[in-house]
């Protein structure tokens, strides 16, 4: 293998640039030519492909977002889209591909491998919802962004004796809500993986009031309901002086943490090594601080699971 390419797809995540940097510099160190594909699978089909040098990824390690840009391209799920992509790869003499992204990106990587084009998946998503890895690139940064907001909002909640409902990202996975809620001392954490009872949440608020507590924080993952919808439901139980803060896309941006930079660097480098071994259809990850790889088809069959021990601990400590 002499020439490989890299693309980022789906929602951006802090650390994607660090992963791309690792692919480029590891590849060049191994004697490969490395090409960048702009705008994900859309750019692949359109032939938006350019050669990358060592300097192309300079001054990127600390930057959030993705210098290769990203785009949604549902048409890549079709045979026509996949064949057009492979045609472009062959046209540029590219023999292997690294795809950084989440679940949808992995499906694209799987499809290319099934059509005989070796592709490696690197988990880049703030939701931490990819199986086969303890952590995804961008999760730690998004978590710390949410936690910083929680800490600041608690100051205001204390000053005005209010209940604040903080909506964080997490459509199908509640890791950002769970980890930030536990680290930020939230009184209640609502996540998609666990059903909740309004009576239980209200009971917790009332229990706090009874012991003299005058402010509370409730963290809601967007996959459960919106923060405003929860506030309306809470109002049915009485006046808790509730205010809503929606953190939104700020969770995707920002300079990646040291953890995300190191994780991205390790995973990107391993992806190159796998291509040099002429292996495709794999997803790299980290388990117990060891870099691993798993069959991407098997990864896609699995469902993200909640850390029940962590969830139960958060419930106990929020009394």
Q: What is the pLDDT of residues 35-46, one digit of tens each?
A: 999 999 999 999
Q: Residue 240 — very low, low, confident or very high, per pLDDT cuts 50/70/90?
A: confident
Residue in the block written with tokens 């995804």: 136
Check whether 319 has a pLDDT greater than 80.
Answer: no
Locate the domains of the chain by residue range.
3-138+256-300, 140-253
Name the token pair of 130: 């990819």
Alpha carbons 176 and 167: distance in angstroms, whole number: 10
- CATH code matching the domain that covers 140-253, chosen among 3.40.50.460, 3.40.50.620, 1.10.3680.10, 3.40.47.10: 3.40.50.460
Residues in binding site for Mg(2+): 103
Any residues with CB less than 8 A from the CB of 23 and at least 6 apart, and which?
A: 4, 6, 34, 98, 268, 269, 271, 272
Q: What is the pLDDT of residue 171?
A: 92
Q: What is the pLDDT of residue 55?
A: 96
Residues in binding site for substrate: 125-127, 162, 169-171, 222, 243, 249-252
Q: Residue 277 — very low, low, confident or very high, per pLDDT cuts 50/70/90?
A: very high
Q: Name which of 280, 281, 275 is nearest 33 in CA terms.
A: 275
pLDDT one-digit tens code per residue, 105-155? 999 999 999 999 999 999 999 999 999 999 999 999 999 999 999 999 988
Identify the three-state secondary structure at position 177.
Answer: helix
Check whether 231 has a pLDDT greater than 80.
Answer: yes
Check whether 74 has a pLDDT greater than 90.
Answer: no
Check whether 180 has a pLDDT greater than 80.
Answer: yes
CA atoms within 13 A on the CB side of 246: 10
Please name the helix (run of DSSP H) or strand (run of DSSP E) that holds residue 182, with its range, or none.
Answer: helix 175-183
pLDDT one-digit tens code per residue, 5-15? 999 999 999 99
* pLDDT, mean of residues 284-310: 95
Q: Which residues in 193-204 are b (16+ Cβ under 10 Å) and which e? A: beeeeeeebbeb
Q: Tell me the pTM.
A: 0.95
pLDDT one-digit tens code per residue, 197-211? 999 999 888 888 888
In this structure, the strands spanning 49-52 and 163-168 are unpaired
Q: How many helices (H) and strands (E) does the chain have?
A: 11, 11
pLDDT one-digit tens code per residue, 81-100? 999 999 999 999 999 999 99
Identify the three-state secondary structure at position 164.
Answer: strand
> What is the percentage of the chain residues whose pLDDT exceeds 90?
85
Architecture of the 3-138+256-300 domain? 3-Layer(aba) Sandwich (3.40)
Q: Residue 1 — very low, low, confident or very high, per pLDDT cuts 50/70/90?
A: confident
Strand ranges (DSSP E) for the chain? 3-8, 33-37, 49-52, 96-101, 119-123, 163-168, 188-190, 216-221, 242-246, 282-287, 290-295
Residues in binding site for ATP: 11, 72-73, 102-105
Taking all residues of the chain, what is their mean pLDDT, rounded to a whole number?
Answer: 94
Residues in binding site for ADP: 21-25, 154, 185-187, 211, 213-215
Q: Residue 213 — very low, low, confident or very high, per pLDDT cuts 50/70/90?
A: confident
Range of weakest confidence among 137-146, 210-219, 280-289? 210-219
* pLDDT, mean of residues 23-45: 97
**Catalytic residue (one of 12, 48, 59, 127):** 127
Check whether 161 has a pLDDT greater than 80.
Answer: no
Residue, of 164 and 162, whose pLDDT is higher = 164
Q: Is 59 a catalytic residue?
A: no
Residues in binding site: 11, 21-25, 72-73, 102-105, 125-127, 154, 162, 169-171, 185-187, 211, 213-215, 222, 243, 249-252
Whether 132 contacts 299, CB under 8 Å: yes
Please name the helix (run of DSSP H) or strand (run of DSSP E) that holds residue 25, with its range, or none.
Answer: helix 16-29
Q: What is the pLDDT of residue 17?
A: 98
Q: Residue 22 — very low, low, confident or very high, per pLDDT cuts 50/70/90?
A: very high
* pLDDT, mean of residues 54-61: 96
Q: Name which of 238, 177, 242, 178 is nearest 203 in CA terms.
A: 238
Do 3-138+256-300 and 140-253 share a fold? yes
């Amino acid at each position: 293998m002499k020439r490989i390419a890299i693309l980022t797809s789906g929602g951006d995540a802090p650390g994607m640039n660090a992963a791309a940097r690792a692919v480029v510099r590891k590849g060049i160190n191994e004697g490969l030519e490395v090409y960048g594909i702009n705008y994900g699978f859309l750019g692949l089909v359109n032939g938006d492909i350019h050669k990358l040098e060592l300097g192309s990824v300079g001054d990127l390690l600390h930057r959030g977002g993705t210098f290769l840009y990203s785009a949604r391209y549902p048409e890549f799920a079709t045979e026509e889209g996949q064949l057009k992509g492979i045609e472009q790869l062959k046209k540029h003499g590219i023999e292997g591909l690294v795809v950084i992204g989440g679940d949808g990106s992995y499906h694209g990587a799987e499809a290319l491998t099934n059509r005989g084009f070796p592709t490696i998946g690197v988990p880049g998503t703030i939701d931490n919802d990819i199986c086969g890895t303890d952590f995804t690139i961008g999760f730690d940064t998004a978590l710390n962004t949410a936690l910083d907001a929680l800490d600041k909002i608690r100051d205001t909640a204390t000053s005005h004796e209010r209940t604040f409902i903080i909506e964080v990202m997490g459509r199908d996975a509640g890791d950002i809500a769970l980890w930030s809620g536990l680290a930020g001392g939230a009184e209640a954490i609502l996540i998609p993986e666990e059903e909740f009872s309004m009576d239980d949440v209200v009971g917790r608020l009332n229990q706090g009031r009874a012991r003299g507590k005058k402010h509370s924080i409730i963290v809601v993952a967007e996959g459960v309901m919106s923060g405003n919808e929860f506030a309306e439901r809470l109002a049915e139980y009485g006046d808790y002086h509730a205010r809503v803060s929606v953190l939104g896309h700020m969770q995707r941006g920002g300079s990646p943490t040291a953890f995300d930079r190191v994780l991205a660097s390790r995973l990107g480098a391993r992806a190159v090594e796998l291509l040099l071994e002429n292996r495709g259809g794999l997803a790299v990850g980290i388990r117990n601080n060891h870099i691993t790889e798993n069959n991407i088809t098997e990864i896609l069959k699995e469902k993200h699971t909640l850390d029940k021990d962590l969830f139960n601990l958060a419930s106990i400590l929020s009394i």
